[in-house]
Amino acid sequence: MGLFDKIFGKKVAEQLEENASADIFKLDLSESEEVSETVTDPEIVGDEVETETEQEVETVPEPGLEPETPQEIEAKYEKSLKKTSKSFGARFNEFLANFRSVDEAFFEDLEDTLIMSDVGVDVATQLTDELRQEVKLQNAKSTDDVKRVIIEKMVDNFGESGLNTALNLQDGLTVMLFVGVNGVGKTTTIGKLANRFKTEGKKVLLAAADTFRAGARDQLVEWARRSGVDVVVGKENSDPASVVFDAVKRARTEQFDVLLIDTAGRLQNKDNLMKELEKMGKIIKRELPDAPHETLLALDATTGQNAISQAKEFSNVTPLTGIVLTKLDGSAKGGIILTIQQILQIPVKLVGLGEGIQDLENFDEALFVKGLFQDLI
């Protein structure tokens, strides 16, 4: 049984209609007051630039967030994918409405529609070729039949990716490095993840290895405060690698469970970025040979195909273990997940579904697909 049948079964239309009316999207809890203690304990790293000890940030008690129920998570996916599904659905329905027969012109237009739907040229071509066969094989004649075959094929291709979307968490210290261009949502993702791990009872340390923008550092310190976790920061323009060194050392000696490292994403200077990430990687490995356990690239879902080029560029600079697709809630281009996994063979591991502290979810293939096609089936 393919992913399509597993997810949609036979009577999916009614079910989706019911779900669409449910509106239990969680309130943004970002204004909640939470405990946080910000500590830095930097040290001098060989001949590297010295970091500076930051002052303590005032702390406020955390009210504690209830874990979400599976129904709440599903509703969040559905709501976040509404825009994508609407534009996807509208384009497809319009395309199908214009056709009387399934001939070569139909497939050519289908390919164009897929390209316009942010599926990407390569995937669109491959999919159209496969669909030519499939439509024949299934003897699909009516618009509804063809529609079902198209969706079925897209979903099943996606389901066959075989990529592991789970975070690689260790029994001991897990080190995660976050990369991505400015503004895609790295810091926000780290803040949300810190809160998740803290809620699970883990000891969490953050590292502000973006030392080029004071704003970026302050933002991370604020997220640490909100989640009640510790953060290591460096002096402005200091060597990011020295912050990483301090953070890894501290995480090991004080037995933290998770270390989340925020980096600067200046892709315009690829050589520098590569050198910087290499240096960070070396420093991490010196202390922990099997780390980083995750190198996650944050991509902004609203940028569509641009996100794909960023993923290609970054994977040339450093090996990536996964992708965080942010701002899915504000995007009509969430369909790029299909392309990312198919073309780049990098699993999407986390999705950002809003700006609130709880608006980060593990990537769930079935919930994504259900949300994506909700306006089509």
- Whether residue 183 is annotated as binding a ligand: the answer is yes
By CB under 6 A, tell whether 329 contacts ligand GTP: yes
- Whether residue 180 is annotated as binding a ligand: the answer is yes
Sequence-ordered alpha helix ranges (H) in the chain: 3-8, 12-21, 70-80, 82-97, 104-116, 121-137, 143-159, 186-199, 214-227, 240-253, 270-287, 305-317, 336-339, 365-372
- Whether residue 311 is annotated as binding a ligand: the answer is no
Which residues are bridge partners to 231 per DSSP? 206
Distance CA(357)–CA(53), nearest Å, equals 27
By CB under 6 A, tell whether 145 contacts ligand GTP: no
Determine the interface stretch with ligand GTP among 3-11, 142-150, 176-184, 233-241 (rule: CB under 6 A). Answer: 176-184
By CB under 6 A, tell whether 216 contacts ligand GTP: yes
Amino acid letter, 297? L
Distance CA(77)–CA(369), nearest Å, equals 10
- Whether residue 182 is annotated as binding a ligand: the answer is yes
Q: For ligand GTP, which is the closer residue by CB, 210 or 365?
A: 210
- Whether residue 264 is annotated as binding a ligand: the answer is yes
Distance CA(243)–CA(43), nearest Å, equals 9
Q: Are 39 and 231 in contact (CB under 8 A)?
A: yes
User: Cβ 346 to ligand GTP, closest distance in Å?
Assistant: 18
Other CB atoms closer than 10 Å to residue 14's CB: what's the count?
8
Distance CA(237)–CA(118), nearest Å, equals 38
Choose among 115, 108, 336, 65: nearest CA to 227: 65
By CB under 6 A, tell whether 269 contacts ligand GTP: no
Determine the interface stretch with ligand GTP among 64-72, 83-91, 101-109, 325-333 (rule: CB under 6 A). Answer: 325-333
User: Cβ 262 to ligand GTP, closest distance in Å?
Assistant: 7
Q: For ligand GTP, which is the closer residue by CB, 187 or 341?
A: 187
Strands 230-233 and 294-300, how do they pair? unpaired
Q: For ligand GTP, which is the closer residue by CB, 16 or 307?
A: 307
Q: Which of 9, 67, 183, 319 binds ligand GTP (CB under 6 A)?
A: 183
By CB under 6 A, tell whether 292 contacts ligand GTP: no
By CB under 6 A, tell whether 326 contacts ligand GTP: yes
User: Cβ 78 to ligand GTP, closest distance in Å?
Assistant: 15
Residues of this chain that bind ligand GTP (CB under 6 A): 180, 182-188, 216, 219, 265, 298, 326-327, 329-330, 352-355, 359
